[in-house]
Amino acid sequence: MTNDPRPGRREGAISLNALRCFAAVVEGGSISRAAEILGLSQPTISVTLTGLERACGTLLLHRRPRLALTDAGQDLLARARLVLGRMDELEETMRQSRELRRGSINIGLSTPAHAMPCIAAMMAAYPELRVRTRLGNTNGLLEALAACEIEVAIMTLTRPVEGMSCTLLVSQRLIACVPASAPRAAISLKELAEGPLVLREPGSMTRAMMEAAFAAQNLSGRIALEVGSREAAREAVAAGIGISVVLDGEAWQDQRLLAVPILGEPIAGGVYALALPESLDLPAIRAFIALSGEAANRAAI
């Protein structure tokens, strides 16, 4: 048994720092030159070399009349250079990752109209960073975030999610989408509930917002068709199947359709950038959230 207070450290283990000191002494030709190269004191270099020799169980350098490698030192030097070279490569890789010159980021989105300008800003600022996207509804993306399947997400919420970092990008409210062949200036919540309605699947935030508004007024929406995407909802409304709802920042530009306000108290929400709080120190996530806020501010001007 050892009394080494450092957990996980083997007695006689060789450290990278000791190998760097050893290589610097050999390459510099003296302890004083190695101290200059590494920015350490000469006594520190001497103590480190002695500790390395003790760990190796053999003399590595003859000190007099001048520094000279022993056979064991020559063997260790070759191995040390290999190890340090690999370590330098690893440190360079990590530096490039910190500077976002390599690596990737996985972005979830439920609202492409707001997410794509944010993604475009990220790709323009860091062209060497690989961007992957995942489209889904709010519930699915929250589950993916919690499971670390994605790292950050742009989605619509009625309020921030507890346990998540939520940065508001833009406020929105629900509006109705009706066929252009049956125009109207506005629609009441009661008329909307009477339908027929075309709504997204459970887990969609627009559906959740609509159902919450109905419940607050003791209404029950008459759903004619449930669809799995905005595009399907748009085509269903254009085909005359029913009325749908969409956030005002995502209204469809389609001559077959009309976007009309819902009378009464606004059914409000917001587009947020979400991430796990513990991930905010990661450079890619921190940069994406900052750039998303800037993109949202430019769009609001």
Q: Where are the domains of the chain?
A: 16-98, 103-301
* The dihedral formed by the CA atoms of 286, 292, 294 and 296, expressed in degrees to the nearest 10: -160
Please tell me the predicted confidence (pLDDT) of residue 301.
60
Q: Which CATH number fits domain 16-98: 2.40.50.100, 1.20.120.80, 3.40.50.20, 1.10.10.10?
A: 1.10.10.10
User: Which CA distances in Å does 166 have to 101, 173, 272, 275?
Assistant: 26, 18, 6, 7
Look over the chain and give the mean of its residue pLDDT values, rounded to a whole number.
88
User: Which CA distances in Å does 54 have to 11, 60, 254?
Assistant: 11, 10, 79
Do 165 and 275 form a contact (C-beta atoms < 8 A)? Answer: yes
Between 5 and 278, the more confident residue is 278
> Residue range 37-64: average pLDDT?
91
- pTM of the predicted model, to two decimals? 0.67
Q: Where are the alpha helices (DSSP H) in the chain?
A: 16-28, 31-38, 42-56, 71-98, 112-125, 138-146, 189-194, 205-216, 230-238, 283-300
Q: What is the pLDDT of residues 151-181, one digit of tens each?
A: 999 998 888 999 999 999 988 889 999 999 8
Topology adopted by domain 103-301: D-Maltodextrin-Binding Protein; domain 2 (3.40.190)
> Residue range 227-248: average pLDDT?
91
Question: CA angle 80-84-90, nearest 5°?
Answer: 150
- Residue 132: is its pLDDT beyond 70? yes
Q: How confident is the model at residue 125 (pLDDT cuts 50, 70, 90)?
A: very high
Do 223 and 199 form a contact (C-beta atoms < 8 A)? Answer: yes
- Phi, psi torsion values for 270, nearest 5 degrees: -155, 155
Lowest mean pLDDT among 4-13, 78-87, 273-282: 4-13
- Residue 130: is its pLDDT beyond 80? yes
User: Which CA distances in Å does 15 have to 77, 141, 144, 270?
Assistant: 14, 44, 40, 52
- Residue 266: is its pLDDT beyond 80? yes
- Residue 70: is its pLDDT beyond 60? yes
